[in-house]
């Protein structure tokens, strides 16, 4: 099917495509061309109920339960193969729908999910925490007994990925569900809907039992119905902290289901006094401008020794002028558009408010001269108080603030002066950077830029960055419930306390 189609069959329930029954449609608009990418009919609340019922029936049915660890590993591997085979068309679609430059989209937006799925396939065979069951030591109170811990799939997963990495975030949730034996109802962000529809067309090729994977599309009413559904056992949501709080409340009121929430950040990037300043400038800018700043771990607060702040900003301004901002379908493009005109206006309003309060755009800034698209040049602001709104709000734009510090203790204090705690970075010699990294309140800390996003490491953080983890042993364990089975070695005994 073409992404440009107006499609009525945008809801996938019980192994079949169905017409969306809400009577409403949603059109995805390209943030670069401002042309329609595709239109879909939205699902009704009743179709949410049908999707959850289908997932419940599949979870409890023999067909899916007959898939052992090796079978589930083959399913996840096959999905990785299908994504890899379709790398170029998927990357092109994401470049059109989300605005990620094509050179980055091939790796980050498709290659990353492929790697994560292959890791989940390994985990499907191995099991959580190293196995699907673990024996405990003998216990002698009041009689000698032994125990076994069993890890069993949590049940029906409600998966709600965000728009900025539509396949990545879907793979993190769906890969874990398929590997663990859960069943799933997916509700994508409307702004990543066309990409998700294409992935579900590929999922059909897996020939899974009906109901193992389901798809509904819609807005807040559909989201509330899904996350608050009494038959959902686990909710996995990626998005803003404001919506994440609502999701957590809805899941608690619906079925007291467990919620795993990844809600973003305002990540600090500390440049230590001993760091080679020249080598930090480019990586610092590229990291907060990647995907037009629409990433939860963007290094959007740069902490610079106060006696080198002006030097850093001068070098940053020169570097920003070399960055190609423009058409995400061009291989040379480094920074594409933000997702919508409304979002760009909101970001520009935040910058204007900061400038009115005394801030200065010290590097980059403004819009590029392009005929269409929601573009912003990367920019760095100085003269911003650490408690100012622009220093505390996740902008989802290629905008950072530079905060001067007098010593390393102040740098750590400023870095931790946020309600988020998803990611951080420290530039400097390893023996100096490591003690700083250990003092940062963050789920992930890289030193000198770190390396790739490894699927065997947990992702998440404290505070308003969310609850629980994705990826890694800790993230895979979220898809399970643990059962304790205990028995006395001497046979039936009187209950303790009687």
Please count the other Cβ atoms lying within 10 Å of the Cβ belonging to residue 246.
17
d(Cα 447, Cα 173) in Å, to the nearest integer?
28
Dmax (CA) of the chain: 82
405's enclosing H/E stretch is strand 399-405
In 357-429, where does DSSP find H-type helix? Answer: 389-392, 408-415
d(Cα 447, Cα 425) in Å, to the nearest integer?
6
438's enclosing H/E stretch is helix 430-439
Q: Decide the pairing of beta strands 360-364 and 379-382.
A: antiparallel
The sheet carrying 183-186 orders its strands as: 16-19, 9-13, 213-215, 183-186, 156-160, 234-238, 258-262, 466-467
Q: 260 near 236, Cβ under 8 Å?
A: yes
262 assigned to active site: yes
* The token pair that represents 240 in the structure block: 């803003």
Separation in Å, CA 299 to CA 56, 253, 394, 489? 41, 35, 11, 56
> Residue 201: which residues within 8 A CB-CB, separation 6 or more?
1
d(Cα 170, Cα 224) in Å, to the nearest integer?
19
* The token pair that represents 319 in the structure block: 């570097």
Please count the other Cβ atoms lying within 10 Å of the Cβ belonging to residue 348.
15
Separation in Å, CA 206 to CA 76, 77, 185, 217? 9, 10, 16, 21
Q: 394 near 242, Cβ under 8 Å?
A: no
* The token pair that represents 284 in the structure block: 């610092």
Strands of 221-369 (E only): list them: 234-238, 258-262, 268-271, 301-305, 360-364
Task: Return the closest-CA partner of residue 303 out of 177, 180, 440.
Answer: 440
Catalytic residue from among 115, 262, 394, 470: 262
Hey, which residues are catalytic here?
262
């Amino acid at each position: 099917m073409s992404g440009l189609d107006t499609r009525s069959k945008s809801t996938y329930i019980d192994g079949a495509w169905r017409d969306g029954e809400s009577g409403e449609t949603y059109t995805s608009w390209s943030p670069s061309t401002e042309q329609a990418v595709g239109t879909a009919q939205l699902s009704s609340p009743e179709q949410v109920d049908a999707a959850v019922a289908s997932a419940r029936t599949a979870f409890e049915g023999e067909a899916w339960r007959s898939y052992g660890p090796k079978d589930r590993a083959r399913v996840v591997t096959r999905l990785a193969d299908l994504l890899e085979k379709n790398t170029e068309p998927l990357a092109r679609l994401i470049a059109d729908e989300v605005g990620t430059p094509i050179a980055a989209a091939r790796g980050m937006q498709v290659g990353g999910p492929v790697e994560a799925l292959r890791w989940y396939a390994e985990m499907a065979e191995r099991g959580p925490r190293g196995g699907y069951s673990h024996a405990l030591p003998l216990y002698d109170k009041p009689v000698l007994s032994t125990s076994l811990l069993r890890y069993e799939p949590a049940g029906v997963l409600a998966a709600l990925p965000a728009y900025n990495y539509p396949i990545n975030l879907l793979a993190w949730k769906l890969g874990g569900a398929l590997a663990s034996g859960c069943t799933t109802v997916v509700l994508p962000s409307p702004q990543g809907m066309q990409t998700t529809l294409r992935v579900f067309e590929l999922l059909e090729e897996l020939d899974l039992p009906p109901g193992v994977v389901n798809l509904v599309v819609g807005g807040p009413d559909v989201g509330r119905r899904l996350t608050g559904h009494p038959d959902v056992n686990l909710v996995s949501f990626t998005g803003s902290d404001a919506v994440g709080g609502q999701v957590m409340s809805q899941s608690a009121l619906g079925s007291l289901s467990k919620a795993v929430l990844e809600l973003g950040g305002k990540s600090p990037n500390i440049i230590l006094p001993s760091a080679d300043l020249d080598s930090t400038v480019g990586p610092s800018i590229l990291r907060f401008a990647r995907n037009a700043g629409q990433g939860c771990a963007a290094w959007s607060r740069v902490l610079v020794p106060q006696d080198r702040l002006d030097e850093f900003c001068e070098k940053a301004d020169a570097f920003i002028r070399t960055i190609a901002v423009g058409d995400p379908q061009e291989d040379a493009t480094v920074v594409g558009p933000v997702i919508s005109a409304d979002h760009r206006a909101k970001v520009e309003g935040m910058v204007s408010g900061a400038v009115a309060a005394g801030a200065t755009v010290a590097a980059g800034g403004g819009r590029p001269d392009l005929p269409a698209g929601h573009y912003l040049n990367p920019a760095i602001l100085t003269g911003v108080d650490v408690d100012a709104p622009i220093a505390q709000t996740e902008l989802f734009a290629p905008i950072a603030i530079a905060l001067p510090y007098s010593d390393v203790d102040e740098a750590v204090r400023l870095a931790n002066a946020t309600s988020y705690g998803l990611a951080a970075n420290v530039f400097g010699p390893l023996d100096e950077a490591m003690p700083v990294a250990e003092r940062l309140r963050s789920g992930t800390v890289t030193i000198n830029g770190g390396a790739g996003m490894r699927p065997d490491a947990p992702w998440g953080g404290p505070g308003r960055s969310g609850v629980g983890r994705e990826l890694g042993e800790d993230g895979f364990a979220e898809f399970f419930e643990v059962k304790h089975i205990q028995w006395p070695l001497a046979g039936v005994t009187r209950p303790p306390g009687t």
